[in-house]
A = this chain, B = another copy of it.
Amino acid sequence: MKIWLTMLIAAISINLSANELKLDNSLAYKLTESLTVEVGPRIAGSAADERAVVWAEKNLTALGYDKVWREAFDMPYWQRGAASLTVKAPFHQSLVVTALGGSIATPVNGIDSNVVMFASLEQLKQATAKNVKGKIVFINTSMEKDQEGNFYGEVVGVRSQGAIEAAKLGAQAVIIRSVGTSLNRFAHTGVMRYSDKVTRIPAAAISVPDAIQLEKMLALEPNLSLHLTMQNKLPGTVKSHNVIAEITGSTRPDEIVLISAHLDSWDQGTGALDDAAGVGLVMAVGALIKQQGRPERTIRVVLFGNEEGGLLGAKAYAAKHANNLDKHVFASESDFGADRIWRLDSGVGEKSLAFIADLHKKLAHLDISLGNNDAYGGPDVSVLKALGVPVVTLLQDGTDYFDYHHTANDTFDKVNAEALAQNLAAWIITTKAVANSDIDLRQ
């Protein structure tokens, strides 16, 4: 056990009575630092993913969890290769490009083709094959900032569906403007989809400044051509793992209060905001609650594998635990960065709204408002919610999240220790409230 961990746990003495919660602890922050420094990028299926699993098991054990185990699942492994995108005559410039997750490679010598720009996926869908066939499609949709991250949902279809729609019209490849809100020159990766009904074509993203630049070039020279190379590999099926740990409940140990984050990350940054901060947070929550006395219900920490590739760990968890989901009395996930929590949303039965209102009173001193009852609980937990598990979302301020998300710039220095401590307080209050209650949130 690391010295700092021992010292920290010994030093932490949180008094959760009334509003006297102390916010000066840093266990979640220290765990986030440890994962990002010692493991770093950990794309699902890779050797780094396995090192992250070992890191999680070791640290969950050191934190005093009663049980720690891993659950394997199969997944298709995708490896990023070198990528380049060059604008040909008359401009002769390189653009900052990254492969979208899951994309096939280009031929070894790359693709040389004219480029045709569309302002949106919708505009591409309305195009004719005549204007697209044989070309590289460039979808140049910009994204605004907002606290709830709603714009991401509106724009991300460009990333997930772009290759399908471009291929339907005979395009050779698709490049998209990064689904992000920063003018910093990082290209934003993320999972993309193929359809069995159309040809698979390479798909990549360019940074926002490069999208602006390419648009300006096209205004000067509509017949511009590009040279795209990407050497991604799809080696086949490998195993990844969910890592699970429990603080066993004192009086109702079979009732599971599930708190979660995802252990995998994209490979460009160190996955600090997405989602090491969530991992550090939920690992700390269970450990700190146990320090204050065993909860009545069992607190189960689930660190999902392969969230980024399409919630594969969550789906595997739901399948494996299908017969026991009725004993999952609650689930929530932290996977929206590490900024301050500003709203509590729930996804519970109508009769439980009084419990949620009471919970909100306990959170109000942390400057958290009460939202709606439409919460999905987080990406992985949405799989459980669909199967009837009650959820809450402790909604973080996502205004700046998409400045860093899925880029090389998602690194530990972007994590705000003070905001993460506020998250920790809110999560401890919430988790304790459910774990020490006999509320049936399905009602």
Please report A residues at the B interface, Cβ cutoff 8 Å. Answer: 33, 36-41, 47-48, 51, 90-94, 96, 183-186, 208-209, 212-213, 216-217, 220, 269-270, 408-409, 411-414
Contact = CB atoms under 8 A, between A and B. Distances in A.
B409 A37 contact: no
Contact of A37 (B37, B41, B220): B220
A93 B41 contact: yes
26 contacts: A37-B216, A37-B220, A38-B90, A39-B91, A40-B92, A40-B93, A40-B213, A41-B93, A41-B94, A47-B92, A48-B92, A51-B92, A93-B270, A183-B413, A184-B186, A184-B409, A185-B269, A185-B409, A185-B411, A209-B413, A212-B412, A212-B413, A213-B270, A213-B411, A213-B412, A216-B412
A84 to B, nearest CB: 11
Contacts of A412: 209, 212-213, 216
Nearest to A38: B91
A91 to B, nearest CB: 6
Nearest to A215: B37
Nearest to A267: B94
A274 to B, nearest CB: 15
Contacts of A270: 93, 213
A408 B184 CA distance: 9
A38 B221 CA distance: 10
Number of copies: 2
Contacts of A40: 91-93, 213
A77 to B, nearest CB: 17
B38 A411 contact: no
A75 to B, nearest CB: 21
A270 to B, nearest CB: 7
Nearest to A407: B185
A98 to B, nearest CB: 13
Nearest to A268: B185
A74 to B, nearest CB: 24
A-B pairs with the 3 shortest C-beta distances? A40-B93, A209-B411, A37-B216
A51 B93 CA distance: 12
A51 B89 CA distance: 12
Nearest to A408: B185
Contacts of A36: 213
Nearest to A210: B411
A48 B91 CA distance: 9
A193 B169 CA distance: 54
Given A40-B93, A184-B409, 8 more contacts: A37-B91, A37-B216, A38-B220, A40-B213, A41-B94, A48-B92, A208-B413, A213-B411
Contacts of A209: 409, 411-413
A51 B212 CA distance: 22
B217 A37 contact: yes
